[in-house]
Structure 1
Amino acid sequence: MEPQRPPTPSAEPPATPQWVPTERDIADARITDFAGFVQARTGFQAPDYRALWQWSVDDLPGFWHALWDYFELGEIDGEVLVAPDMPGAQWFPGTKLNYTDQIVRQFRTDRPAIVALTEDAEPREVSWVELIDHTAAFARSLRELGVRPGDRVAGYLPNVPEAVIAFLATAALGAVWSACGQDYSAKAALDRLGQLEPVVLITADGYRFGGKAHDKREDIAALQAGLGSLRATIAVSRLGLEVPEAVPWADAVADTGNDAAVIETEAVDFDHPLWIVFSSGTTGLPKGIVHSHGGVVLEHLKAVALQSDIGPEDTFFWYTSPSWMMWNFQVAGLLVGATIVTYDGSPTHPAPDALWRMAAEVRATVLGTSPGYVLACIKAGAVPRAEHDLTALRTVGITGSALPPASALWLGSNIGDHVQVSSISGGTDVVSAFIGGVRTVPVWPGELSAPFLGAALDAYDPDGKPVRGEVGELVITRPMPSMPIRFWNDPDGSRYRDAYFDMFPGVWRHGDWIEITGHGSVVVHGRSDSTLNRHGIRMGSADIYQAVERLPEITEALVIGAEQPDGGYWMPLFVTLTAGTELTEELKSRINSTIRAEVSPRHVPDDIILAPGIPHTRTGKKLEVPIKKLFQGADPARVVERSAVDNPDLLDWYGGQRRR
């Protein structure tokens, strides 16, 4: 018998929205203006967002051409879309542009380009003059080092303005940017950057996190030794330490010109590589995912301006790291003239609500964080609206994993009912989102409001048939410009095809469980490759976490379902507890009762095990699949690359718990 689809969790979210746009919200939204532009251009009148989305996926060339013209990106030399099959679609062949040019167009003097926050100093403002001037000077320094179009420039940096400037200068030359945050070890950074043979390394002497200074000079030396292709290292001073064999950042940007708005940029093809971002790399070397100038410019203008409604009057603050695609996404705020905020410290230092305090201080209008941070604030008893002035805040963005309904409602009560909770879901693969909030669409707790324009999103059953009101595989049925142009070191494209097109040929399978609701929103149920399958009933792990992690004693949980050689199925739940809490039989009973009542009686775990911690990728995703493989007897050295794990020592503990 074919397994049934995952059931909808029994704990239904409220039927009424928690946030509804006002008439003023709708009238002022950038997406409303775009819809008017489309109507004037084509005669198509969209009565609502859903109709506009449908048009955007039915007429891909028409939509992306309209988007290009709406943002006045210049002349299009030829067709918009050639060979629309996946993989292999060709976008805007013959058309040239440069990402950095789009930033220069936004030049202004009335507000800063970047506000830099750290744990150890007052906020620092980087003006648009300084941003453009230093980008121009740094680009000249790279040229003097012989950097040419297609060369790779690597960053090993905290989230500081210098990282943004180095990226923009690299892009201006048509060179290719790739970066890791300094929380990565030298080995983890080499696993990624070493594949690219970079010619220049941009780094910093260290960073501060949680009140502690982290001297990174030893790791920098290991990188310099391991990257045989390097011509030079350029080092930012964060801790006042001298980095051997490195050019000081101040010297690299000293050659400033008199005209702040002049940067010599290289016009490149639409599909010329802009940056390489890496998969989590939990099994083997991380995959280098190559994105193009044109695909990123179009996708990010759409996602930032139309979907997120960010514009020139906004201050855009997303807690992130250069290792994570959300860093790239936040830089895109500069594409629309917004002020962006960089921060290289801990979101919980010196108190759990530190991120909200910083958002209040910089008057952030859009703040991005994760479900894990929200849950930590809930458990700490934080009430940000009572402690901080968040009246400027308009939107809270959420990504990284599914946001439970209870956490969404907490945000409304403790941040402000006027704030739109905009969960988004997509990935490094497209360096953007497929689904998220829209300023003209209501928000239902625990749900993502709508598919993004141009993303032909659907939910498929195992036979490749669309399903509604039940859970299916997240698929994209038509190409997007920001899909990877290729994987690095994948000459025949086989790794790329296997990653997305193995299950449904010609259709992108993303690897997430989603449910498309009757009112057009989307519920994300977790990764489909870590599905829990008990007695033929499948369930996403996110549903378990939403129930269990609400319990006050639980700080975090991890669940796996491991098929056994004898045909059995073992489903343990690992939990970490708050300080002073013990895993008593009463607490285990309460955990089981919660899962039985709120998720499914068939998914009550076989064992509840106290763990010293939950291992994650360095971008915060729980290591469900590698831990499952460990418990099925796989060789730990082949299951997971330790350098890709935030706390590698935990792998030894889980390996020692392997069920015999």
Structure 2
Amino acid sequence: MNLLAPILAKLTAHGSRTAIIAADGEHASYADLLGRSERLAAAWQRQGLRAGDRVLVAMPVGIPLYASLVALWRLGAVVVFPEPALGLAGLRHALRVTRPRAFLAAGWFRLLRYWLPELWRVRLVLGANTSAATAADALETVDIDHPALISFTSGSTGQPKAIVRSHGFLATQNARVAELLAPQRDDCVDLVGFPVFVLANLGLGVTSVLPNWRLQRQENTDTGRIARHIAAHGVSRALIPPSICAGLADHPISPLDAIFTGGGPVFPDLLARLATRLPDADIVSVYGSSEAEPIAHQRLAEVTQDDWRAMREGAGLLAGRPIPEIAVKILDREIVVTGAHVNKGYLDTRHDQTSKLSLDGAIWHRTGDAGRLDERQRLWLLGRCDGTVGDLPPFGVESAARFWKGVEQAALVSVDDRPVLAIAGDGARQAEWQAQADRIGDIRVIVLPRVPLDRRHGSKVDYPALKAALRRI
């Protein structure tokens, strides 16, 4: 098998249809991607790249990146993606952990082989220029367990863990994502803020518009620029993290058919703002993780008044019913999952000891998220297991607080064994917020200019940074 088989069939079938629109407006058709990948594969084959070789990839998110991915998988090579949010530290970590045979870079990233001593021992250097290459229609047949991709967790809970995805795993994961993203019309154009979802779109025949913002510190993006990007390319759906949704919810935007958002907690106040801005859009919150994507999803149109009331009163975040292809258990309040598209182990097996369980003859992944299943078997998220403050679930308190007047951000942590609710917003309302918090429990409210967020999607609270900031007050 080869995970590319169905994707190559779409590349061939759709020919002149636009596959990808880059941030600068460059278009690539399905035929373009097919031709580029054939020429790259032929050139790299001549350089000596073989099936099973690990290739560290350092390229901007653009058309050459996706042509290169297709070319590498044609040859059965293993793509190694460093965690981009960690910058050079993430790249060095990937080099140490995976020890790649080849390095593929474009743009200024090519200079890294001269700057980083760790790259000096990587002798095979690949280029992404296809102008002078001849084409070869190669497609390596590999075993279902043959590795295709090594990527990394965000490192927000410790050292980034290397996740190995095989051809069989990626093909299954793409199928699950494709089911979620199945378009309702033939001329669908997606703004894709999650680079991995472009692969699913290629298999669906959907046009992907790449982000025109930096994928680090996304909470600081220029919302007006994104809105113009959407209008210029006739985007009909957006696949974007909550941080980007938050900006668009407060800015004039062209009508959209749908928004899919995840990669961090999707709070109910944000969903309400999106619904006001885009009343005709199908708004879907997606819950998953690096090791299991997707786990569950919830359409806003199916959220009941009782659900809204529960979230306002601190019941947590409604993530929806788990997809049929995944099994979910709640063990000691923690969400654990298993299924064909759930990662069963890390490259460094020592990480399995804290993240994997053997139950009922299967390997289960411990998400680290606290949650519960309601009487309708819908999943509710309560926050990180290690972030629970006494009996107070972080997402329960935070989602309730975000409905208070003047609140822009809210995060619950324990400081010196006391619950502290950090709030960014209209600080003149601090006394009002404290009165509201007193009704929930013994919680001290502290006002901050901003609550620090994660570097990957700008949507999760950076709790260590937050605790450090609160202790300085």
Q: Give the TM-score normalised by structure 1.
A: 0.62
Q: What residue number does 2:434 align with?
A: 592
- Say yes or no: does 1:452 pair with 2:350: no
- Say yes or no: does 1:614 pair with 2:456: no
Is 1:99–1:293's contact at 8 Å kept on the other side of the alignment?
A: yes
Q: What residue number does 2:420 align with?
A: 572
Is 2:193–2:211's contact at 8 Å kept on the other side of the alignment?
A: yes
Structure scoring higher RCO (CA < 8 A, sep ≥ 6) equals 1
Q: What residue number does 1:144 align with?
A: 46
Q: Secondary structure at the match of 1:453?
A: coil
- The structural deviation recorded for 1:454 is 0.8
Q: What residue number does 2:312 align with?
A: none
- Say yes or no: does 1:255 pair with 2:113: no
Q: Deviations over 1:355-390 (max 9, x none)?
A: 343233323333112222333344xx4242xxx2x2
Is 2:144–2:167's contact at 8 Å kept on the other side of the alignment?
A: yes
Match of 1:382 among 223, 233, 251: 251
In 1, the alpha carbon distance for the partners of 2:153 and 2:470 equals 27
In 2, the alpha carbon distance for the partners of 1:510 and 1:168 equals 30
Match of 2:368 among 488, 497, 511: 511
Q: What residue number does 2:392 align with?
A: 538
Distance 1:611 1:360, change over 3 A: closer
Is 1:475–1:509's contact at 8 Å kept on the other side of the alignment?
A: yes
Q: What residue number does 1:398 align with?
A: 261
Is 1:560–1:624's contact at 8 Å kept on the other side of the alignment?
A: no
Match of 1:333 among 184, 190, 201: 201
Structure 1 range deviating more: 450-459 or 343-352: 343-352
In 1, the alpha carbon distance for the partners of 2:223 and 2:372 equals 33
Distance 1:165 1:616, change over 3 A: same
Q: What residue number does 2:273 align with?
A: 410
Distance 1:343 1:263, change over 3 A: farther
- The structural deviation recorded for 1:160 is 0.8
Q: Deviations over 1:289-315 (max 9, x none)?
A: 1111112112211321x2332376432
Q: Deviations over 1:149-176 (max 9, x none)?
A: 2211122222111111111111111111
In 2, the alpha carbon distance for the partners of 1:520 and 1:357 equals 40
Is 1:198–1:227's contact at 8 Å kept on the other side of the alignment?
A: no
AA in 1 matched with 2:7: I
Q: Which structure 2 residues correspond to residues 200-599 of structure 1 after superposition, within 5 A?
A: 200-206=102-108, 221-223=114-116, 225-234=117-126, 247=127, 249-250=128-129, 252=130, 254-257=132-135, 263-282=137-156, 285-304=159-178, 306-310=179-183, 313-320=187-194, 327-346=195-214, 351-378=222-249, 381-384=250-253, 388=254, 390=255, 393-417=256-280, 419-430=281-292, 432-437=293-298, 442-443=302-303, 447-460=318-331, 462=332, 472-476=333-337, 479-484=338-343, 486-488=345-347, 490=348, 493-501=349-357, 507-533=364-390, 537-539=391-393, 541-550=394-403, 553-562=406-415, 564=416, 569-577=417-425, 583=427, 586-596=428-438
- The structural deviation recorded for 1:555 is 4.2
- The structural deviation recorded for 1:437 is 4.4
- The structural deviation recorded for 1:189 is 1.7
Q: What residue number does 1:77 align with?
A: none
- Say yes or no: does 1:124 pair with 2:2: no
Q: Secondary structure at the match of 2:22?
A: strand
Q: What residue number does 1:13 align with?
A: none
Is 2:83–2:152's contact at 8 Å kept on the other side of the alignment?
A: no
- Say yes or no: does 1:657 pair with 2:440: no
Q: Which has the larger radius of gyration?
A: 1
In 1, the alpha carbon distance for the partners of 2:206 and 2:273 equals 28
- The structural deviation recorded for 1:613 is 5.2
Distance 1:538 1:104, change over 3 A: same
- The structural deviation recorded for 1:353 is 4.1
- The structural deviation recorded for 1:330 is 2.9
Distance 1:338 1:412, change over 3 A: same
AA in 2 matched with 1:546: S
AA in 1 matched with 2:294: A
The alignment covers a number of residue pairs equal to 455
In 2, the alpha carbon distance for the partners of 1:220 and 1:544 equals 48
Q: What residue number does 1:466 align with?
A: none
Q: Which has the higher helix share?
A: 2
- Say yes or no: does 1:100 pair with 2:16: no
Query: Percent sequence identity over matched residues?
Result: 19
AA in 2 matched with 1:274: A
AA in 1 matched with 2:251: A
Q: Secondary structure at the match of 1:167?
A: helix
In 2, the alpha carbon distance for the partners of 1:134 and 1:217 equals 20
Is 2:152–2:161's contact at 8 Å kept on the other side of the alignment?
A: yes
- The structural deviation recorded for 1:396 is 0.5
- The structural deviation recorded for 1:575 is 3.9
Q: What residue number does 1:135 align with?
A: 37
In 1, the alpha carbon distance for the partners of 2:102 and 2:438 equals 55
Q: Secondary structure at the match of 1:486?
A: coil
Distance 1:158 1:559, change over 3 A: farther
- The structural deviation recorded for 1:198 is 1.8
In 1, the alpha carbon distance for the partners of 2:77 and 2:299 equals 34
In 1, the alpha carbon distance for the partners of 2:469 and 2:429 equals 25
Aligned CA RMSD, in angstroms, stands at 3.2
- The structural deviation recorded for 1:101 is 2.0
- The structural deviation recorded for 1:271 is 1.2
Q: Secondary structure at the match of 1:376?
A: helix
Q: Which stretches in structure 2 are left out of the alignment for 5+ residues?
A: 309-316
In 2, the alpha carbon distance for the partners of 1:217 and 1:589 equals 54
Is 2:356–2:365's contact at 8 Å kept on the other side of the alignment?
A: yes
Distance 1:167 1:362, change over 3 A: same
Is 2:83–2:154's contact at 8 Å kept on the other side of the alignment?
A: no
In 1, the alpha carbon distance for the partners of 2:199 and 2:369 equals 26
Is 1:526–1:542's contact at 8 Å kept on the other side of the alignment?
A: yes
In 2, the alpha carbon distance for the partners of 1:310 and 1:623 equals 32
Distance 1:348 1:280, change over 3 A: closer
Q: Which stretches in structure 1 are left out of the alignment for 5+ residues?
A: 1-96, 207-215, 235-246, 321-326, 463-471, 632-653
- The structural deviation recorded for 1:550 is 4.8
Q: Secondary structure at the match of 1:354?
A: helix
Q: Deviations over 1:84-129 (max 9, x none)?
A: xxxxxxxxxxxxx1122221111212411111123xxxx1110111
AA in 2 matched with 1:192: A
- The structural deviation recorded for 1:135 is 0.7
- The structural deviation recorded for 1:452 is 1.1
Q: Give the TM-score normalised by structure 2.
A: 0.85
Is 1:139–1:173's contact at 8 Å kept on the other side of the alignment?
A: yes
- The structural deviation recorded for 1:287 is 0.8
Q: Deviations over 1:554-581 (max 9, x none)?
A: 543433124x5xxxx222333445xxx6
Is 2:260–2:284's contact at 8 Å kept on the other side of the alignment?
A: yes
AA in 2 matched with 1:473: E
In 1, the alpha carbon distance for the partners of 2:166 and 2:294 equals 16
Is 1:574–1:611's contact at 8 Å kept on the other side of the alignment?
A: no
Q: What residue number does 1:81 align with?
A: none
